[in-house]
Amino acid sequence: MILGIETSCDETAAAVVSQDGEVLSSVVSSQAVLHARYGGVVPEIASRRHLELVTPVVRQALEEADTTLGHIGRVAVTQGPGLVGALLVGLSAAKAIAWAGRLPLVPVDHLEGHVASLYLRPEPLEPPFLCLLASGGHTLLLAVRERGRSERLGTTLDDAAGEAFDKGARLLGLGYPGGAEIDRVAEEGARDAFPFPVARVPGLDFSFSGLKTALLYAVRDLGEDEARRRRPDLAASYQHAIVRALTVRLREGAEQTGLERLAVVGGVSANSALRAALPDARFAPLALCTDNAAMIASAALYADPLPYPGYLELDAYASAA
Ligand code: KG4
Ligand code: ZN
């Protein structure tokens, strides 16, 4: 069994996954309420909270999997990218647990982790496939030809898709994190009420900053009261523009690479409009869309383990290589 630990942002997570990709437990303690009053994640607050939560969350993951540390064969942990202070808490905890049990440690790239959410049971996806990774920090188009390895075809030139949702939600006076809020409010609105633009950038890259500005102007032109009254229409139209941008690129990527199977992972893959727009794509299971440790343990099945005790020097990294 693999114990996975994830602390790259504002979720403290631990999970136990079996060798053949079955999730035996997955515990996620979200700090979202803690950061909501600031409208975003405050790195120092996140680190301190991880420090308080990491041990109880690991304990709970072991308990829910009905197992003990003695039965764990290796420890997997997110090494980066993410908030460095937050990452260090998980990495230190993982090192300590692995070292005490004389176990191998598997450092996992958070982005490979999101992709690996597709490899878990009951419906593991087999490469090759084209994967859209859309989260709060990244928007990537990846060609996945074998497990554990992905080729980057496109990325965002400015904001990530999840960031666009979060910033849009803020402009609309909705709570943080904004993606799920916009998703909810948009249900009552008309997606063609406002003609928001989809940026056209060269290649297979993405851009969302123009869209955010368009929403800002629309809200300003309507005035406070009218903008609140039309909030469902604004949310639906804004969401539709993001969904269009993502789906158009995914289709173009499929055409260019010849990869027929499509997959979507990361926090934004929880979006109901995106799911509806891509009926032929594989989506990560809802519980594994946003950050979790089961995906990290899953990725560890396709990454190189560092044998005991050669990992104590290992450092976290903040940005993608
Ligand atoms: O993957 P994730 O948990 O963390 C990162 O690695 O960044 O993604 C978080 C992002 C946030 O920006 C959040 O607003 C977005 O995923 N998100 C959604 C939905 N649920 C979460 N965006 C759109 N619709 C949703 N239902
Ligand atoms: Zn993530």
Rounded to the nearest angstrom, the distance between the alpha carbon of 19 and the centre of ligand 2 is: 23
Candidates 256, 236, 143; CA nearest to 196 is 236
Burial class (CB in 10 A: 0-12, 13-18, 19+), 48: middle
Rounded to the nearest angstrom, the distance between the alpha carbon of 108 and the centre of ligand 2 is: 12
- Alpha-carbon distance of 205 to 187, in angstroms, equals 28
Torsion of CA 205, 283, 159, 149, to 10 degrees: -60
* Whether residue 179 has its Cβ less than 6 Å from ligand 1: yes
2-120+290-300 matches 129-284 in fold: yes
Question: What contacts 1, CB < 8 A, 6 or more positions away?
Answer: 16, 17, 18, 19, 24, 65, 67, 71, 72, 73
Q: Which atom of ligand 1 is nearest to the CA of 110?
A: 6
Q: Tokens at residue 163, please?
A: 């960031």
Within 10 A of 76 (CB to CB), how many other CB atoms are there? Answer: 31
Q: With contact defined as beta carbons under 8 Å apart, do 69 and 40 qualify?
A: no
Rounded to the nearest angstrom, the distance between the alpha carbon of 267 and the centre of ligand 1 is: 3
Rounded to the nearest angstrom, the distance between the alpha carbon of 202 and the centre of ligand 1 is: 25
pLDDT value at residue 197: 87
Beta bridge partners of 131: 142, 263
Q: Which atom of ligand 1 is nearest to the CA of 8?
A: 6
pLDDT value at residue 126: 96
- Alpha-carbon distance of 26 to 186, in angstroms, equals 30
Tell me the torsion sign for CA atoms 205, 32, 56, 51.
positive
Within 10 A of 213 (CB to CB), how many other CB atoms are there? Answer: 12
- Alpha-carbon distance of 110 to 296, in angstroms, equals 7
Choose one of 87, 135, 288, 296 to mutate for the ligand 1 pocket test, by most ligand atoms within 8 angstroms of C-beta: 135
pLDDT value at residue 321: 62
Helix (H/G/I), strand (E/B), else coil: 226 = helix
Choose one of 132, 174, 238, 268 to mutate for the ligand 1 pocket test, by most ligand atoms within 8 angstroms of C-beta: 268
Residue nearest to atom 16 of ligand 1 (CA): 267
* Whether residue 290 has its Cβ less than 6 Å from ligand 1: yes
- Give the class (CATH, top level) of 2-120+290-300: alpha beta
* Whether residue 183 has its Cβ less than 6 Å from ligand 1: yes
Domain boundaries, the chain: 2-120+290-300, 129-284
* Whether residue 156 has its Cβ less than 6 Å from ligand 1: no
Within 10 A of 259 (CB to CB), how many other CB atoms are there? Answer: 20
pLDDT value at residue 32: 85
Long-range contacts of 64-71, Cβ-Cβ distance < 8 Å, separation of 24 or more? 64/16, 64/24, 64/25, 64/27, 65/1, 65/16, 65/24, 65/25, 66/24, 67/1, 67/16, 67/24, 69/3, 69/97, 69/100, 69/101, 70/101, 71/1
Q: Which atom of ligand 1 is nearest to the CA of 138?
A: 7
Q: With contact defined as beta carbons under 8 Å apart, do 71 and 1 qualify?
A: yes
Rounded to the nearest angstrom, the distance between the alpha carbon of 291 and the centre of ligand 2 is: 5
Region of residue 59 (phi > 0: left; psi between -120 and 50: alpha; otherwise: beta): alpha
Rounded to the nearest angstrom, the distance between the alpha carbon of 162 and the centre of ligand 1 is: 5
Tens of pLDDT along the chain (321 residues)? 999 999 999 999 999 999 999 999 999 998 888 888 888 889 999 999 999 999 999 999 999 999 999 999 999 999 999 999 999 999 999 999 999 999 999 999 999 999 999 999 999 999 999 999 999 999 999 999 999 999 999 999 999 999 999 999 999 999 888 999 999 999 999 999 999 988 889 999 999 999 999 999 999 999 999 999 999 999 999 999 999 999 999 999 999 999 999 999 999 999 999 999 999 999 999 999 999 999 999 999 999 999 999 999 999 999 976
Rounded to the nearest angstrom, the distance between the alpha carbon of 11 and the centre of ligand 2 is: 9
Tell me the torsion sign for CA atoms 199, 283, 30, 315.
negative
Rounded to the nearest angstrom, the distance between the alpha carbon of 40 and the centre of ligand 1 is: 12
Element (H, E) at 77: strand 74-80
Q: Which atom of ligand 1 is nearest to the CA of 135?
A: 8
- Alpha-carbon distance of 239 to 236, in angstroms, equals 5
pLDDT value at residue 39: 80
- Give the CA distances from residue 206 to residues 1, 132, 164, 291, in Å, rounded to whole numbers and listed in that order: 38, 11, 12, 22
pLDDT value at residue 125: 97
Element (H, E) at 72: none
* Whether residue 253 has its Cβ less than 6 Å from ligand 1: no
Rounded to the nearest angstrom, the distance between the alpha carbon of 135 and the centre of ligand 2 is: 6
- Alpha-carbon distance of 89 to 57, in angstroms, equals 13
- Alpha-carbon distance of 97 to 6, in angstroms, equals 14
CATH homologous superfamily, domain 129-284 = ATPase, nucleotide binding domain (3.30.420.40)
Residue nearest to atom 1 of ligand 1 (CA): 267
* Whether residue 136 has its Cβ less than 6 Å from ligand 1: yes
Torsion of CA 148, 154, 160, 161, to 10 degrees: -90
